[in-house]
Chain A
Amino acid sequence: MASLKELVKRKELFSYGHRACAGCGEVLAVRQVLLAAGENVACAMPTGCLEIVSTIYPHTAWQVPIFHSAFENAAATIAGMESAYRALKRRGKITKEIKFIAFGGDGGTYDIGFQALSGAIERRHRFLYVCTDNQAYMNTGIQRSSATPSFADTTTSPAGKKLPGKLQPRKDIVEIVIAHDVPYAAQTTVAFWNDLVTKVEKALSYDGPTFINILVPCPLGWVYPTDRTIEISRLAVETNFWPLYEYENGVYRLNYEPKERKPIEEWLKMQGRFRHLFLPENQKLIEEFQREVDERFARLKRRVAMSG
């Protein structure tokens, strides 16, 4: 893995010129991924916050080739790019080794882009798909996605007098991707830059489709002060809400285990989207949330134990 010392010396490939909100976890993730990937990459992204903040014509924050065409097709787009690369390489029109990375928000990945993602992975295109998971459709103003956790208040799953925010737990995209029999899939978050960078390096070393889901806190959508992104990101791991793990050639590995898992309240209470859970009548919802976190973590541990 590249050391921090090395990383800071590398060229910034996602740089000035973007208009993301202060504290945006998504652009932190992209910056870290590209630092890890190095210069010979070509990227694609769907419609979403990332596209809007980084490519407002005539500006661009990208120092690598980047293509945006629509919302549901980042995986098909990267597949097309990779196919063109194969063809042009075979015909001697390209000689360089190029790596391919698609960046998709959770909406463009778990929901509308899911078909294209599944198709591109099944066809074994060589690319890394990075999901920058901020757990809602932030670009259109914080609507629920299938990545949104239980009880979160979003504009299409509002916490009201009768309903306590989103009723369903979030979809486990990493497991679904693993079920496609990929060589490498992982989950990480921006606070753990070294974990993230290592995972990107590993993923890009495979000759096949790989997937990394990165939790990217969103100050606007999660409702917290802009200087707490890294703290919230770290706490998601310390509470076992977002375990750092990877799946490599059939083997699950937990990359970090908190010595003592913190109660989920600590993570929830930092975020306005869960404010309603702290009303006295909603205490049981926090318990339910905790139960879900513990069950999911236990399931992951079983997977790790069984494959180890």
Chain B
Amino acid sequence: MKKIVAKTGNEALAFAMKQIAPDVVAAYPITPSTEVVYTFSSFVADGEVDTEFVAVESEHSAISACIAAAACGARAMTATASQGLALMHEMLFIASALRLPIVMAVVNRTLSAPLNIHCDHSDSLASRDSGWIQLFCANSQEAYDTLIQAVRIAEECYLPVMVTIDGFILSHCMERIEVLSDEEVKDFIKEFKPNYSLLDVDNPITVGPACLPDSYFEHKRAVAEAMRESLPVIEKVSREFGERFGRYYDIMEGYETKDCEVAIIAMGSTYETATVAVDNLREKGEKVGVFKLKTFRPFPHQKILKELREIPVLGVLDRAEPLSSYGGILYTEIRAVLADEKKKPLTASYIYGLGGREITPEEIEEVFEELFLIKEKGKSKEEVGYIGVK
């Protein structure tokens, strides 16, 4: 029987965390992810979950403790945002290079300065090269489902996974969420049987040694391979989840994209806002569509090629300003994937929503109108577009 509850995005994540019942959660509060941690710690206090909860003194220690716990063969999880993720930055690389299946909820928030607690993707995207699988969720239901899948993905790939939701937009917004039973979750994630454990004192191992030029390269290459090989695992786990529970998420999805003349692509909650714009314009007979990229790392280049090659004009919406003086991060990556294709869309880079600036369906409709102009001119937009900047 379906169980439907009303939960904020953060509560949905904390609830999933409780059902996953990791061995160790080490965390430090930061808005807008704080609620994940305090909701979870209330589950611990009430004895609803027997996780070892470590209220550390900083995010750096939170991730350090998770890394150590994971090396001991424990399931370890944490949650953070923004400056917290930035403070973890050094350790993110260590987690992936040591092949530790840690799962972290990231509630996307911009990076200082100026200090701002609201959403953009500058935090997650700044950790782009850290070797974490990054899954961007469009709504809280997806976040709940994805956090559960992430445990399997992490443990099958031996790579850490970040599951992100948009700060405040999803984290603090109450939604209708369908939850699984504890048994279903337990059954889906299975028991974790690590390859090795630092706590096996009878078979001692050294983890995190120093490597010289004669061996570092091979280790890094192995992580790159693992990242490449994680894509089919992500697809498999998500298919299995879909088959079992009826909710299926693809690594990249589209809305009204079959016959579209112009399309946009975005990550996170903006996808849903964009579907409203698409509906409005479709009513007027305009052939527009929107794509959502869920799996930012690994970057699903084959899928992107397949889905985007035939689109005449593509606007790429980035919720982070990488200060490259060229365009957004997603934009440059998509451009790179399409570069060698004979048939490829004309493109335009749009930066939007920084520091929690709202994006409305009307603004997205304007973007679509501009994409039609680009189509007429037959030339990609050269300058970076900023949506909604004053």
Task: List residues of chain A with CB under 8 Å of any chain B CB.
Answer: 39-42, 44, 51-52, 55-58, 60, 62-70, 72-73, 75-81, 83-88, 90-91, 93-94, 96, 98, 115-116, 118-120, 122-123
Complex Cα distance, B69 from A183, in Å, reads 25
Q: How large is the interface on B (under 10, 10 to 19, 20 to 34, 35 or more residues)?
A: 35 or more
Given contacts A73-B64, A116-B61, is CB(A83)–CB(B26) below 8 Å? Answer: yes
User: Are A70 and B209 in touch, CB under 8 angstroms?
Assistant: no
- B67 at interface (Cβ–Cβ under 8 A)? yes
The segment from B194-202, B339-347, B364-372 that touches chain A is: B194-202
User: Are A65 and B200 in touch, CB under 8 angstroms?
Assistant: yes
Minimum CB–CB distance from B203 to chain A (whole Å) comes to: 9
User: Are A84 and B208 in touch, CB under 8 angstroms?
Assistant: no
Which A residues touch B71, using CB under 8 A? 67, 81
Minimum CB–CB distance from B28 to chain A (whole Å) comes to: 10
By CB atoms of chain B within 10 A, which of A40, A73, A76, A88 has the most? Answer: A76
Complex Cα distance, B198 from A66, in Å, reads 7
User: Are A116 and B64 in touch, CB under 8 angstroms?
Assistant: yes
Q: B24, B57, B91, B207: which contacts A83 (Cβ < 8 A)? A: B24
User: Are A84 and B64 in touch, CB under 8 angstroms?
Assistant: no
User: Are A68 and B64 in touch, CB under 8 angstroms?
Assistant: no
Closest 5 interchain pairs by CB? A80-B68, A119-B57, A80-B65, A76-B61, A55-B209
- B325 at interface (Cβ–Cβ under 8 A)? no
Chain A minimum-CB-distance residue to B50: A90
Minimum CB–CB distance from B79 to chain A (whole Å) comes to: 16
Minimum CB–CB distance from B134 to chain A (whole Å) comes to: 21
Q: List 19 A-B contacts (CB under 8 A).
A: A56-B210, A60-B206, A62-B206, A65-B199, A66-B207, A67-B198, A72-B60, A73-B91, A76-B64, A77-B67, A80-B65, A80-B66, A80-B68, A80-B72, A83-B54, A83-B74, A85-B199, A91-B50, A116-B60
Given contacts A88-B23, A90-B50, is CB(A83)–CB(B65) below 8 Å? Answer: yes
Which A residues touch B70, using CB under 8 A? 84
- B94 at interface (Cβ–Cβ under 8 A)? yes
Complex Cα distance, B26 from A119, in Å, reads 12
Which A residues touch B206, using CB under 8 A? 55, 60, 62, 65-66
Complex Cα distance, B24 from A85, in Å, reads 10
Minimum CB–CB distance from B169 to chain A (whole Å) comes to: 32
By CB atoms of chain B within 10 A, which of A56, A66, A69 has the most? Answer: A69
By CB atoms of chain B within 10 A, which of A77, A83, A88, A119 has the most? Answer: A83
User: Are B198 and A81 in touch, CB under 8 angstroms?
Assistant: yes
User: Are B210 and A76 in touch, CB under 8 angstroms?
Assistant: no
Which A residues touch B380, using CB under 8 A? none
- B215 at interface (Cβ–Cβ under 8 A)? yes
Minimum CB–CB distance from A234 to chain B (whole Å) comes to: 32
Minimum CB–CB distance from A71 to chain B (whole Å) comes to: 9
User: Are A69 and B68 in touch, CB under 8 angstroms?
Assistant: yes
Q: B55, B198, B212, B215: which contacts A123 (Cβ < 8 A)? A: B55
Complex Cα distance, B202 from A96, in Å, reads 10
Chain B minimum-CB-distance residue to A68: B208
Complex Cα distance, B69 from A250, in Å, reads 32
User: Are B209 and A85 in touch, CB under 8 angstroms?
Assistant: no
| Residue interface bits B98-141, CB-to-A below 8 A is 1, else 0 | 10000000000000000000000000000000000000000000
Which B residues touch A57, using CB under 8 A? 209-212, 215
Complex Cα distance, B381 from A26, in Å, reads 62
Given contacts A51-B210, A65-B201, is CB(A85)–CB(B72) below 8 Å? Answer: yes
Chain B minimum-CB-distance residue to A64: B204
Which B residues touch A96, using CB under 8 A? 201
Minimum CB–CB distance from B147 to chain A (whole Å) comes to: 19
- B157 at interface (Cβ–Cβ under 8 A)? no
Which B residues touch A86, using CB under 8 A? 52
Q: A55, A60, A69: which contacts B64 (Cβ < 8 A)? A: A69
User: Are B68 and A44 in touch, CB under 8 angstroms?
Assistant: yes
Complex Cα distance, B200 from A65, in Å, reads 8
Which A residues touch B69, using CB under 8 A? 80-81, 83-84, 87
- B273 at interface (Cβ–Cβ under 8 A)? no
Complex Cα distance, B70 from A57, in Å, reads 21
User: Are A98 and B74 in touch, CB under 8 angstroms?
Assistant: no
Which B residues touch A58, using CB under 8 A? 209, 215
Complex Cα distance, B95 from A67, in Å, reads 13
Minimum CB–CB distance from B82 to chain A (whole Å) comes to: 19
User: Are B67 and A39 in touch, CB under 8 angstroms?
Assistant: no
- B90 at interface (Cβ–Cβ under 8 A)? yes
Which B residues touch A81, using CB under 8 A? 68-69, 71-72, 198-199
User: Are B52 and A77 in touch, CB under 8 angstroms?
Assistant: no
Minimum CB–CB distance from B186 to chain A (whole Å) comes to: 13
User: Are B91 and A70 in touch, CB under 8 angstroms?
Assistant: yes
User: Are B56 and A79 in touch, CB under 8 angstroms?
Assistant: yes
Minimum CB–CB distance from A100 to chain B (whole Å) comes to: 10
User: Are B207 and A73 in touch, CB under 8 angstroms?
Assistant: no
- B151 at interface (Cβ–Cβ under 8 A)? no
Chain A minimum-CB-distance residue to B206: A60
User: Are B26 and A80 in touch, CB under 8 angstroms?
Assistant: yes
Chain A minimum-CB-distance residue to B24: A83
Complex Cα distance, B91 from A78, in Å, reads 15
Complex Cα distance, B208 from A207, in Å, reads 28
Which A residues touch B72, using CB under 8 A? 42, 80-81, 84-85, 88
Minimum CB–CB distance from A31 to chain B (whole Å) comes to: 16
Complex Cα distance, B287 from A48, in Å, reads 61
Chain A minimum-CB-distance residue to B98: A69
- B76 at interface (Cβ–Cβ under 8 A)? yes
Minimum CB–CB distance from A237 to chain B (whole Å) comes to: 33
Which B residues touch A62, using CB under 8 A? 204, 206
Given contacts A76-B61, A76-B65, is CB(A88)–CB(B76) below 8 Å? Answer: no
Which B residues touch A67, using CB under 8 A? 68, 71, 198, 207-208
User: Are B210 and A55 in touch, CB under 8 angstroms?
Assistant: yes
Q: A42, A77, A90, A120: which contacts B199 (Cβ < 8 A)? A: A42
- B51 at interface (Cβ–Cβ under 8 A)? yes
Which B residues touch A70, using CB under 8 A? 64, 90-91, 94
Complex Cα distance, B70 from A76, in Å, reads 13
Given contacts A84-B68, A87-B24, A98-B199, is CB(A65)–CB(B60) below 8 Å? Answer: no
